[in-house]
Amino acid sequence: MATTGLKIGIIGRGPASAAHADRLLAIEGVSLVGCADADPSAARALADRCSRPGRPVASFADLGGLIRETSPDAVAIFTPHPSHYRPAMDALQAGCHVFVEKPLTTNVQEAVDIAGVAKGRDRKVGVGHHFRLLPSLVRAREMLAEGAIGPVRLITATMAQPWLESHQTEENAWRFDPRFAGGGILADSGIQLLDALLWSTGGSADLVAAIQAREPSGLDTVTAASIRLSDGTPATVAISGVSPVPLFELVYHGERGRLRATDASLTEERGDGPPRPIPLPAPSGSVDANFVEAILEGVPLCCPAEQAVPTIRLLEAIARSATIGQFVGLA
């Protein structure tokens, strides 16, 4: 892919920002012009990592300084989840395109606001729901739309991640503690599962009942939810942060068969027959490359802001149901 002249600034530190920065730097013509973080030393460390001979990257204590000094075409946001909204709005109002690591925000109103401003200013806002690029889910979505297993009568979705000592640090507390706005395993890793569920089926949710299991300290370790999709299809979702091994799967139970999608495979079962591997399309790249292509070449965004809103709505409903112990309807 040939690209030219796209200047990108980064706000936020941590493994996600470094990984995305590496992918952006590998795209021809993309320049990282600045890194911002409330911790100046963290901003400087990331800027040093992104600098290349003859192409130093500046560091800033806030996004405002980065925008004023470097005039980026786009801003990539990797701050903690509760801090996505303000930099996204500031970047849009400065005329920048925006990439936001998932989730877009931690509440529906903020998500709607971002999508509305992006539309009004004709700016791209891409959200890092990279599961939409998994070949297994791409093919599963196509097969469901084709009616390959008949009407879907039940969907089961599971995600589990190992519990690591690094998760227990104060710096990472917001990822696992529901007492932080946008915290808990549901909002961190689980949001990918929720988005994959809605995107692969082309549906939306209208009713939720959920429970959460927590450590005595308050950390969210397991979230389980029953969801009714708008077409009446029931789905069950289980998200765990204390599994000994990683796990991801979506199983679609249809009248004529069953599809099982993992992060690396897709199988189909008919009756009592053995699972049949489904050939998968070639990988289609990264969310970072897609964001750049959307700006420079006009290709569709993998997940534009307006498509992220229903997932935030579902996230909010699950969290509320688990808190109050009642069914929650989605408007």
pLDDT in tens, 182-194: 456 777 788 999 9
Which has more pLDDT, 246 or 148?
148
What pLDDT shows up at residue 174?
46
135 confidence band (pLDDT: 50, 70, 90): very high
What pLDDT shows up at residue 181?
45
pLDDT in tens, 91-131: 999 999 999 999 999 889 999 999 999 999 999 999 999 99
What pLDDT shows up at residue 163?
62
- Count of all residues that appear for the chain in the document: 331
What pLDDT shows up at residue 219?
56
Strands in 180-271 per DSSP E: 205-214, 220-229, 234-240, 247-254, 258-262, 266-269
Cβ distance 56 to 34 under 8 Å? no
Which backbone phi and psi does 43 adopt, to 5 degrees? -65, -40
Mark 245-256 as b/e (b = at least 16 C-beta within 10 Å).
eeebbbbbbbee
Backbone torsion region of residue 287, taken as left when φ is above 0, otherwise alpha when ψ lies between -120 and 50, otherwise beta: alpha
Average pLDDT over residues 60-78: 97
What pLDDT shows up at residue 15?
72
* Strands 97-100 vs 74-77: parallel, antiparallel or unpaired: parallel
2 confidence band (pLDDT: 50, 70, 90): very low
Tell me the residue type at 308: A
Distance CA 275, CA 285 (A): 28
What pLDDT shows up at residue 189?
80
Average pLDDT over residues 236-263: 91
Predicted confidence (pLDDT) at residue 228 exceeds the cutoff of 70:
yes
The mean pLDDT value of the chain amounts to: 89
* Strands 266-269 vs 258-262: parallel, antiparallel or unpaired: antiparallel
For residue 73, CA distances in Å to 8, 31, 52, 115, 319 come to: 6, 10, 20, 18, 36
Of the listed ranges 22-31, 113-122, 216-225, 311-320, the least confidently predicted one is 216-225
What pLDDT shows up at residue 123?
98
pTM: 0.90
Which has more pLDDT, 80 or 288?
288
Other beta carbons within 10 angstroms of residue 198's beta carbon come to 22
Of residues 251, 231, 257, 228, the one with CA closest to residue 150: 257
- What proportions of the chain, in percent to the nearest 5, are helix, strand and coil? 40, 25, 35
Domains in the chain: ranges and CATH: 6-130+286-304 (3.40.50.720), 134-281+312-329 (3.30.360.10)
CA atoms within 13 A on the CB side of 97: 20
Of residues 229, 205, 260, the one with CA closest to residue 153: 229
Question: C-alpha 108: how far from its chain's center?
Answer: 15
Percent of the chain surpassing pLDDT 70:
89
pLDDT in tens, 146-155: 999 999 999 9
DSSP code of residue 180: S
323 confidence band (pLDDT: 50, 70, 90): confident
